[in-house]
Amino acid sequence: MEKQRKIGIDIDNTLFFCPSIIYNIAAKLKFSSSKNKLKFSEIPYRKDVKVNKIWKYAFSFFNPRKYKEFPAAIDTINKLHEEGNQIFLITSRPVLAPFVSSLQEWLNGHNVSYDKLIMGCSNKSAYVAQNNIALLIDDLQRNCKEVEEVGAKTIMFKGSLKTRGGEFKMSKSANIVNSWKMVLDKVQELFKEEAITFEPNFFSVDENTSL
């Protein structure tokens, strides 16, 4: 089946939630953002990957069992993939062994369908533009705003682990959703109302991009 379009999806607080002091500290750190710099790593698929037990039991952030999927997230992503969309999982998680292994173990264990796993992404808007991604689903307003500035569509996810199928309310903003059921409806609406032809704004990207 020919792939229809590219959809980027954030991971932490979008695909799943992980209660962790490490993540909370990292999320609060403010890093300078530059549209002229882009660093990321495309993580090769590995089967039967497991996290080192020491890391797994010492820190909840590295224990896939502690990651709580937002209701209907996996079913929605897999449906979008089955419909012919390319799924890019894009995260700023560092490209270090325990971070990579814990994430891959969870994705494999939950049978998440995706085409590429991008980690250590320092600038999502630059990556979206460089790779012609038509839509980004992310929980941070900053990322959504910057991605819209390069010409792509965005959906900002503000979900809750208590959100169950059929128990969601419409958001005031058309592009802010609080459940994955709403994500699916919004994606279908965006691509039904207009044929998205992505033409990114041109800006220089560092020639030393990390791959």
**C-alpha torsion angle, residues 192, 145, 61, 184 (rounded to 10):** -10
Residue 115: pLDDT above 70? yes
Give the C-alpha distances (Å, rounded to integers) separating 32 from 35, 36, 123, 125.
10, 12, 10, 14
Q: Residue 103 has what pLDDT?
A: 93
- pLDDT, position 2: 46
Q: pLDDT for 22-51, tens place per residue? A: 665 655 554 444 445 788 999 998 888 887
Other CB atoms closer than 10 Å to residue 71's CB: what's the count? Answer: 20
Query: For position 47, what pLDDT does the model report?
Result: 83
- Give pLDDT tens digits for 58-109: 666 778 888 899 999 999 999 999 999 999 999 988 888 888 999 999 999 9
Which superfamily does CATH assign the domain made up of 6-193 to? Answer: HAD superfamily/HAD-like (3.40.50.1000)
| pLDDT for 170 | 42
pLDDT tens profile 131-187? 999 999 999 888 999 999 999 999 999 876 554 444 444 444 458 999 999 999 999
pTM confidence score = 0.80
